[in-house]
Amino acid sequence: MNDKGILAIALTLALIAGGVLYFVIDQNRTDQLANSQLAASAATGQQLYGQYCSICHGPLGEGCIGPAINRAEWRDINVGGSKDADLVAAHDLIVKTIHQGRQGVQPNPQIPNMPAWGQDNGGPLNDQQIESLTAFLQYGDFNTTIYYIPSANLAGDLQVPPNSSMTITDTRPIKELMLAKGCLNCHLVGSVGGNVAANLTLVGGRRTADWMKRWIKDPQAMPAWERGPYLWAYTATLALSLYATPAPTITPGGGPTPTPSNIHMNPSFMPQIPMTEAELDTIVNYLSKLR
Ligand code: HEC
Ligand code: HEC
């Protein structure tokens, strides 16, 4: 081969290499752009999560009134990498659930349903906000959500239990106790308290006194399947079937049999709070009357 031939081959190779390199860099840039847009969207979603969702799904997304939504199978570990079909399916299921809400199949009718949040379903959120929330659930960091939860309102009196002989005056020492133990920083009771976790205003209707005592003594010791009755032992297929038209008739407790692998609850954010048996009795007696 003459020199010109070698030069031509060398040039061609260089061009190909350059092209490949350019493609790689360009692909990288596109990924980075997508990542930064995704990150911005997830950050907006985190604020919305703290404002609207933590109260039922927990500040860590660990599950509370609703199931855990800090779910490994929904999250893309390689952000910007190739998303497989499962992640797209998870995205679609999450968007649909937020948009339209979902009637639960829990055995206890006192467990609130997942509300519909989309504006065309009467909710407060537009499509972009729902995409942001979904980006947060799939790519965001739950560990900092606590900073975005509106602060507690500690003024005023506790809810006076209806159908009981208790008066406002009777509730005052209980409020002091619940303030001292920190309960009201996280939980709302009537119009007093915080928005971190479950609203306790009707808790006596869905939890027995025995359950509450066990729970408050040691939240981490409560098995997942007792935390929210049966616990959203859903598969994606069953979840999607709930949106079929006509909507299926929901039998309370009619979900699949819970097993450790399909129960969607992760370790609770509620701390173990030291107290005497008498203090525990006072609080639980009061909470049991809230129904
Ligand atoms: C009043 C309580 C409540 C609030 C507030 C709430 N949820 Fe839910 N959510 C639920 C319940 C209950 C379910 C489970 C419904 C069922 O049994 O199918 C659920 C289910 C879900 C699911 C589906 C979980 C799964 O396993 O399929 C997603 C996603 C979800 N909620 C997201 C959100 C987001 C995002 C917000 C805030 C905008 C939010 N939820 C606010 C109660 C709530
Ligand atoms: C740091 C926040 C935090 C504090 C403080 C806290 N809790 Fe909780 N609590 C939670 C979370 C999170 C849950 C969600 C339940 C779960 O994870 O399954 C919960 C659940 C509960 C429930 C069950 C609610 C339901 O609807 O099923 C009761 C009852 C309860 N807490 C009572 C108390 C009492 C009483 C105190 C004070 C002694 C207290 N909590 C303090 C975070 C807190």
Q: Is residue 133 in contact with ligand 1, taking CB distance under 6 Å?
A: yes
6 — pLDDT class (breaks 50, 70, 90)? low
pLDDT in tens, 33-84: 677 888 999 999 999 999 999 999 999 999 888 888 988 878 865 555 556 7
Pick the atom of ligand 1 nearest to 55's CA. 5
Highest mean pLDDT among 88-92, 178-182, 260-264: 178-182
Instruction: Please determine, for residue 31, whether its predicted confidence score (pLDDT) is greater than 80.
Output: no
Per-residue pLDDT at 237: 64
The larger pLDDT score, comparing residue 162 to residue 16, is at: 162
Using a 10 angstrom Cβ sphere, with 0-12 exposed, 13-18 middle and 19 or more buried, the burial of residue 32 is: exposed
From 46, 52, 56, the mutation candidate for ligand 1 (largest count of ligand atoms within 8 A of CB) is 56
Which residues does a 6 A CB cutoff place in the pocket of ligand 2?
58, 62-65, 181-183, 185-187, 196-198, 200, 203, 206-207, 212, 215-216, 227, 268-271, 273, 283, 287
Query: How many angstroms separate the alpha carbon of residue 74 from the centre of ligand 1?
Result: 14
- For the chain, what are the domain ranges? 1-150, 152-194+200-228+265-291
Per-residue pLDDT at 278: 98
pLDDT in tens, 116-144: 999 999 999 999 999 999 999 999 999 99
Per-residue pLDDT at 3: 65
Q: Is residue 130 in contact with ligand 1, taking CB distance under 6 Å?
A: no
Global pTM reads 0.85
Query: How many angstroms separate the alpha carbon of residue 219 from the centre of ligand 2?
Result: 8
Q: Are 39 and 126 in contact (CB under 8 A)?
A: no
Instruction: Classify residue 114 by its DSSP letter.
Output: B
Q: What CATH code would you report for 1-150?
A: 1.10.760.10
pLDDT in tens, 262-286: 677 888 999 999 999 999 999 999 9
- State the Cα–Cα distance between residues 11 and 13, nearest whole angstrom: 5
Mean residue pLDDT of the chain comes to 83
- State the Cα–Cα distance between residues 65 and 230, nearest whole angstrom: 12
Ligand (nearest to CA of 185): 2
With tokens 């129960």, the residue in question is 263
Query: How many angstroms separate the alpha carbon of residue 251 from the centre of ligand 1?
Result: 18
- State the Cα–Cα distance between residues 259 and 262, nearest whole angstrom: 5
Query: How many angstroms separate the alpha carbon of residue 57 from the centre of ligand 1?
Result: 7
Per-residue pLDDT at 1: 52
Query: How many angstroms separate the alpha carbon of residue 110 from the centre of ligand 2?
Result: 17
Instruction: Please determine, for residue 177, whether its predicted confidence score (pLDDT) is greater than 60.
Output: yes
pLDDT in tens, 191-240: 999 999 999 999 998 899 999 999 999 999 988 878 865 556 566 666 66
